[in-house]
């Protein structure tokens, strides 16, 4: 019975910690614009979620900052520039293609092509090796004779 009271206290404490969703802005058009821009930005805490999808405290703060900048009349590009100046290209969910991000954009394709080339070379060499180990007809007859002799020795 005592453990049931402990479980109830833990559940009650967890419910008290839960936060309600932040209220939408007074302007639904502004809120839609905030969420559209936030879907193009990466959560710096979660790193695999957009700013719009994340529930991390930093994500909520950044959405509020984006909302405030939009209220101040800044364009989406100005807000992105402010965020990239502050957090780098990593904050963009789709970073721009430039010399510092070439590895990020083209690295997987280079690895795929290199892996395909290595597999092609390996299979070609393997085929060349097996072609040179073909038996002559005489060697094949000798192998058959040895196998037949071995089978005769093992039969009772």
Question: Which pTM does this prediction carry?
Answer: 0.54
CATH number of 23-96: 1.10.8.640
Residues of the chain with CATH 1.10.8.640: 23-96
Specify the pLDDT at position 94: 85
* Mean pLDDT of the region 46-75: 90
- CA dist., res. 74 & res. 4, Å (int): 54
Tell me the per-residue pLDDT of 89-119, one tens digit each, with 9 for 90 and over: 888 888 888 888 888 789 999 999 999 999 9
For residues 40, 43, 47, 53, the Cα torsion angle rounded to the nearest 10 degrees is -70
């Amino acid at each position: 019975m005592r453990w049931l009271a402990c479980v109830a206290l833990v559940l009650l404490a967890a419910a008290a910690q839960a936060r309600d969703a932040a209220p939408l802005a007074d302007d639904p058009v502004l809120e839609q614009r905030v969420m559209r821009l936030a879907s193009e930005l990466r959560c710096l805490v979660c790193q695999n979620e957009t700013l719009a999808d994340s529930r991390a405290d930093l994500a909520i703060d950044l959405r509020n900052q984006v909302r405030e900048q939009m209220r101040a009349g800044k364009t989406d590009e100005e807000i992105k520039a402010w965020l990239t100046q502050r957090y780098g290209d990593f904050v963009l969910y789709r970073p721009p293609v430039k010399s510092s991000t070439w590895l990020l954009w083209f690295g997987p394709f280079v690895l795929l092509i290199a892996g395909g080339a290595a597999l092609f070379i390996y299979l070609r060499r393997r085929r060349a090796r097996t072609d040179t180990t073909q038996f002559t007809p005489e060697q094949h007859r000798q192998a058959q004779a040895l196998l037949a002799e071995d089978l005769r020795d093992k039969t009772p």
